[in-house]
Structure 1
């Protein structure tokens, strides 16, 4: 039983291995998110990724250690409650 569980886990598609490039994330942004990100980019923020849950897309950007999120409406949250995998 243990060997079969390990072999089925090895077939699991881990998204951390193959990350979409920045252009793929850019195309996932809504128009409002793109305009909001333009403002952040002028301040030195970089787009990290876009996550979609049901009908909500959330863009995550970072400047140094400061994370921000941009919701589908283009509203920027400069103090999100978000923990990245690399920071766990």
Structure 2
């Protein structure tokens, strides 16, 4: 019984999400430059998905249909990021 419980906890170890932040929480994580860049994208129909934050940088990820874009701390938009979402990752 303990082994099966322990095994299932290891399966979830790589999933770093504790709770899923809402859009407002992601919005507050954006830098001013990222917010201005996202305004431009929003006019084109993009939606903010999340903000990935590390010690040195914050990267915003937005989507329009199946097209992903990223916005770095400086507000530079990458329309061709090398990024794979968990929902699209091969198992």
Please give the alpha-carbon distance, in whole angstroms, between the structure 2 residues aligned to 1:19 and 1:29: 16
Deviant stretches of 4+, over 6 Å: none
Tell me which residue corresponds to 1:5: 6
Tell me which residue corresponds to 1:22: 23
Matched residues, number: 86
SS at match of 1:81: coil
Please give the alpha-carbon distance, in whole angstroms, between the structure 1 residues aligned to 2:60 and 2:12: 29
Tell me which residue corresponds to 1:80: 81
Please give the alpha-carbon distance, in whole angstroms, between the structure 2 residues aligned to 1:48 and 1:37: 11
Measure how far apart 1:11 and its partner are.
8.8
Report matched runs for 1:39-78 at 5 Å: 39-78=40-79
TM-score by length of 1: 0.85
Structure 1: gaps of 5 or more residues: none
1:80–1:24 CA distance, 2 compared to 1 (3 A): same
Structure 2: gaps of 5 or more residues: none
Tell me which residue corresponds to 2:34: 33
For each residue in 1:27-65, what CA deviation from the matched residue of structure 2 results, as whole angstroms up to 9, or x when unmatched?
000000000000000000000000011120000000000
